Amino acid sequence: MLVPILTLVMGITIGVLVIVWLEREISVGIQQRIGLEYDGPLGILQALADGTKLLFQIEYSSI
């Protein structure tokens, strides 16, 4: 029961990372500016840093 849930969560997480990365790469091309190549190979480290920051920004409220 736990393995399918973890597989789904990891799949969604990786999908979101890829979509954010593609959006940034496309906007770099459209705006003709220097992109995220300085944040690791193909800018992947920036997407991981943004995801980690978002994870720790979630506020949990007691119900």
**For every one of its 63 residues, what pLDDT tens digit does the chain have, with 9 covering 90 and above?**
899 999 999 999 899 888 988 888 888 778 877 655 566 676 677 777 887 888 888 676 665
Q: How far apart are CA 25 and CA 14, in angstroms?
A: 16
**What is the pTM for the complete model shown?**
0.53
Question: What are the Cα distances from residue 23, in Å, to 10, 34, 36, 48, 53?
Answer: 20, 14, 11, 14, 18
Could you state, in order of their start, the residue ranges of all structural domains in the chain? 2-52
Are 14 and 4 within 8 A, CB to CB? no
**Cβ 39 vs Cβ 46: under 8 Å:** yes
Specify the pLDDT at position 38: 64
Q: How far is it, in rounded angstroms, from Cα 45 to Cα 11?
A: 18
